[in-house]
Copies of this chain bind each other. A is one copy, B any other.
């Protein structure tokens, strides 16, 4: 794929959300009083689990459990809902988890563009949202997220979730803002190992930024999540720390992260602070995460282009997937 086409996949997020909102939910159904919800997915699909967890952990009454593995925890059994999230629908880890969930009598559902996961839902008669295919999984974040939020709304876990996405999509269309901030990030991180610094609530944004710089820019990248990092990672900034540059995403009035940003600068870390609008509701949070995921995505694609790398190609992931396929068919 040409880099310019790939970049286009980050600039059409409003349209992508709109089109996902209009997709029908196949096999619509509501299990009685879910005891808990497992969100299962890997990489660019699994990041949706983290966003949903932080977005809803102060809103929902049932426990959420995130799975990024082949295994399903023992407590996920009859009465639990297990949602599989896989853009391709052929992610081995996610399919194995969904199969285990079916064997245990869990209620399952899925968000995918097709593949075996879609087949499984259709065959077993469980809810499925098919999102637009033919893109990279990571540039389809808004579609995957919209799909999962619509499923959670259908399951009566929380109301108004599709309304939140609908409101959020209008801020994903500001090309001037995207251009300005992505350029700023590109310059700041040029020839550096990026360190993404956030509080627990924005852990998904830092993770997303790391993943995007891994996949698109082919670079090592790391994250610090406060307050936890104040008990360990922070000490790593006392001495020599290699060729890094950090980006601190913090809500206005987050005094802890303001302290951390200042501390890092005093230690000689090149640190750029990005102020997010204060978000006290799930919909305001959703806006922040989507907007900055979009900007970070564009910055990681630009960084790849500057380095003469193809941002779309992720050879080592394909090799791993081939390996796993062979391993599992042995």
Contact = CB atoms under 8 A, between A and B. Distances in A.
Interface in A147-190: none
Interface stretch (A21-29, A121-129, A223-231): A223-231
Nearest to A57: B73
Contact of A235 (B71, B200, B237, B316): B316
Contacts of A317: 230-232, 234-235
Interface stretch (A107-115, A213-221, A272-280): A213-221
Contact of A244 (B64, B220, B314): B220
- Chain B CB within 10 Å, residue with most, of A42, A44, A233, A237: A233
A60 interface: yes
A147 to B, nearest CB: 19
Given A315-B238, A316-B237, A73 B58 contact: yes
A256 interface: yes
A315 B236 CA distance: 11
A302 interface: no
A75 to B, nearest CB: 5
Contacts of A219: 236, 239-241
A236 B216 CA distance: 9
A232 B259 contact: no
A56 B303 CA distance: 42
A241 B263 contact: no
Nearest to A43: B231
A255 B218 CA distance: 25
A309 interface: yes
Contacts of A9: none
A132 to B, nearest CB: 21
A90 interface: no
Contacts of A93: 227
A252 interface: no
Interface in A254-304: 255-256, 259-260, 263
A46 interface: yes
Contacts of A255: 327
Contacts of A221: 236
A222 interface: yes
Given A227-B93, A244-B220, A233 B214 contact: yes
A69 interface: yes
A242 B243 contact: yes
A156 to B, nearest CB: 15
A232 B220 contact: no
Contacts of A315: 235, 238
Given A210-B233, A242-B243, A255-B327, 8 more contacts: A43-B231, A44-B232, A214-B232, A215-B235, A232-B317, A256-B323, A256-B324, A260-B320
The 4 closest A-B pairs by CB, nearest first: A43-B231, A211-B232, A220-B236, A57-B73
21 contacts: A36-B75, A43-B232, A57-B71, A57-B74, A58-B74, A60-B74, A60-B75, A62-B75, A69-B227, A193-B242, A211-B231, A230-B320, A230-B324, A232-B317, A234-B316, A235-B317, A238-B315, A239-B307, A242-B242, A263-B316, A263-B319
